[in-house]
Amino acid sequence: MVANPILYIALPLFTAFLVPLLAKLWKPLVRIVPGLVLAYLAIMSVVLMQQVSPEKPIIAMIAGWKAPWGINLVFTSFSGFIASLISILAFFIWLYSFGFKKVEFDDAQKYFILFMLLTAGSIGVVLTGDIFNMFVFIEITSLSAYALTAFYKGRDGAEAAFKFLLIGSFSSIMLLLGIAILYTYTGTLNMAHLALLMPQVPMHAKITSFLLFFVALGIEAEMFPLNGWAPDAYSQAPGPIAASFAGILAKAGIYALIRVSYTIFDLGDHGGFELLLVMGLITMVVSELVAMRQENLRRMLAYSSMGQMGLIMIAFGLGTKEGIYAGLFIMFNHAVIKSLLFLASAYLVYYTSRKKISDLDGFGKLLPLTSLLFGLGAFAIVGLPPFSGFWSKLSLLIATANSHMEFVLATVLAVSVIEIIYYFRVLGRLYFRKAHKEIKVRKPTWNSVVTMIVLALVIIAVGVHPDFITGLLHNAATDLADKADYIQKIIPDLFSQTLN
């Protein structure tokens, strides 16, 4: 098969624009073709992940221009892992939403176009080796995310999308400013080249630019206090989109934040990592405490999601290889588990307009399988063995302890107790309350059942036998930790010149 990183972006983008034309031919094609494309990308991810290793990244040049002059896509063990995660997850979210809006054809068409754009943009952010290109992809992702937030016509959706747009435009401006500052001093936009030239940039410009990046990407990565948009967007978007916000959008955001702090800037050891760690800690504590008091299920999951993002920032903020490994593990788990939770919750609150937790009473009997899968997700996300969440929590705690950060360790664990409380409260309602009278229940379709079961099986499989993915995670961590290697692999000539 043709396996090239460029296809990750070209195929979904092309499909997105092709969908309206396909609709003229035969309406079901609107649903089928995106799935075929995503399936191809998912298989391609498996193929490419087998080829790639920390020593041998796959680099694709666009239009034959060599870096740093041309735009390149870099599929390394690290970026490739995230890109594969996103594309495989996107395929399953497509499978889940295959029958979405069966009756209203226009809505379905919009949905699939926007979903393909979201996927293409997110993978683009992860794979690109060019900072301006990253900005463009972030814009593509954000624009489709705004539109998807406002998908259900109504006041709430529009309001949520507007907030998202407002904060998102701050992000774009700051990102552009940050890029402009770097370009002024280095004259390049290639990430590897930027990293190489970074020592020449004056300190004040470097710090200003870094902080602009930090805030702009912090918005995308749901960092406190920049995450005001997230709860509204998560709760107003359609169910599968909420899952892709957690599994795809937020992953691209945190990837960008990490790439910028680890590879491009050299401020990590001079306070950059500490900043990330502290902000991660605050994000986690605030989000989990707020999640505790939510009455709306989707908002609760959204705050919990933000809490997990905080956990990821803590892991990467440790700045050690163990920390990176733990962070990647949490990213993986969060993508899989939170998607399962969002997908299952979409059916649990299907007919209730306010999506309240108190409306869930007795659903364990009404929707046994969906409730069971939701429960499994809840067990996994709070880190109970033998589910996958446990191993990521274990690796994070080991990394934290090894960095001699007892306070962070204690805080993470204390917050975990809170997490257990609010998730188990929902489970208590699902299983141990009598159902309200005359409640309408939406039975899950077969394709969404398959999706949720596959995600659940992944959670159990990794939980029982984590070695399924630890190898990939180790490679990815090794890859991200070695910055010089990244530069050397992409611009070997310039790198050796600088050395000499």
Partner 1 sequence: MNSLIILLFILGGGALLSYFAFLSKHAFGQAVVWLVAIASPVYFFTQVAVGESFSFSLGGFELALGFNHYSWVFALLIMVLSPLSLIYSTGYMKSRLRLGTFYFSFIFSIFGMMGILMSRDLVSLFIFWEIMTWASYLLVIYRGKDVEHTGIKYMIFSAVGAYSMFMAIVILNREMHSFDIATVIQNFGNMNAADQWLTGILLLIGFAVKSAVMPLHVWAPGAYTNTPTSFTAVFSGGLSKMGVYGIGLVLLNLYSHSDFSQVGIYLAWLGAITAVMATFRAVFQNDAKKLLAYSSVAQLGYIVAGIGLGTELSVFAGIYLAILHGAFKGTLFMAVGAVERQAGTTDMTKISGLIKNMPWTFFAALVAIIALAGIPPVGGFVGKWMLYEAAINSEHMFLVILIFISSTAAFLYSFRFLFGLFLGQQEEETAHIKEAPAVMVVPMILLSLFLVLMGTFPGIIFKPIAAGMAELGFQGVPWHMSVLYNMWGDSVNLTYVSITFGTVFLLGLVYITLIARKGTKHKLSTKDIHTAGEIPKPEDNLNYSLDFYKPFERVLSPLLKHKLDVYYNEFGKGLEALFNFMRRIYTGNGQTYALYVVVFLVALILLSGRIFGI
Stretch that binds partner 1, among 28-36, 91-99, 118-126, 424-432 (CB under 8 A): 424-432
Residue from 79, 142, 190, 400 binding partner 1 (CB under 8 A): 400
- What is the C-alpha to C-alpha distance for residues 96 and 93, in angstroms, rounded to an integer? 5
Please report whether residue 436 would count as binding partner 1 according to CB under 8 A.
no
Angle, vertex CA 239, rays to CA 238 and CA 240, nearest 5 = 100
Stretch that binds partner 1, among 24-32, 55-63, 229-237, 244-252 (CB under 8 A): 229-237
Please report whether residue 460 would count as binding partner 1 according to CB under 8 A.
no
Continuous segment of H or E residues that includes residue 21:
helix 5-25
Q: What is the distance in angstroms between the CA of the first residue and the CA of the last residue of the chain?
A: 41
Q: Which is nearer to partner 1, 404 or 440 (CB)?
A: 404
**Spatial CB neighbours of 144, under 8 Å, sequence gap ≥ 6:** 114, 115, 117, 118, 121
Q: State in angstroms the smallest separation of the CB of 409 from partner 1.
A: 6
Residue 72 DSSP symbol: E
Residue from 432, 457, 497, 498 binding partner 1 (CB under 8 A): 432
Residue from 205, 356, 424, 460 binding partner 1 (CB under 8 A): 424
Q: State in angstroms the smallest separation of the CB of 149 from partner 1.
A: 13
Please report whether residue 207 would count as binding partner 1 according to CB under 8 A.
yes
In order, the DSSP letters of 133-170 are HHHHHHHHHHHHHHHHHT-S-SHHHHHHHHHHHHHHHH
- What is the C-alpha to C-alpha distance for residues 345 and 301, in angstroms, rounded to an integer? 9
3-class DSSP state for residue 61?
Answer: strand
Stretch that binds partner 1, among 45-53, 80-88, 414-422, 448-456 (CB under 8 A): 414-422
Q: State in angstroms the smallest separation of the CB of 298 from partner 1.
A: 14
Answer yes or no: are the C-beta atoms of 389 and 381 closer than 8 Å.
yes
Q: Which is nearer to partner 1, 113 or 226 (CB)?
A: 226
Beta-sheet pairing, 58-61 with 72-75: antiparallel
Please report whether residue 457 would count as binding partner 1 according to CB under 8 A.
no
User: Of 53, 248, 47, 217, which Cα lies nearest the Cα of 145?
Assistant: 248
State the residues that interact with partner 1 by CB under 8 A.
159, 162-163, 166-167, 170, 174, 203, 207-208, 211-212, 214-215, 219, 225-226, 228-229, 231-232, 267, 270-272, 274-275, 286, 289-290, 292-294, 379, 384-386, 390-391, 394, 397-398, 400-402, 404, 406, 409-410, 413-414, 416-417, 420-421, 424-425, 428, 431-433, 465-467, 470
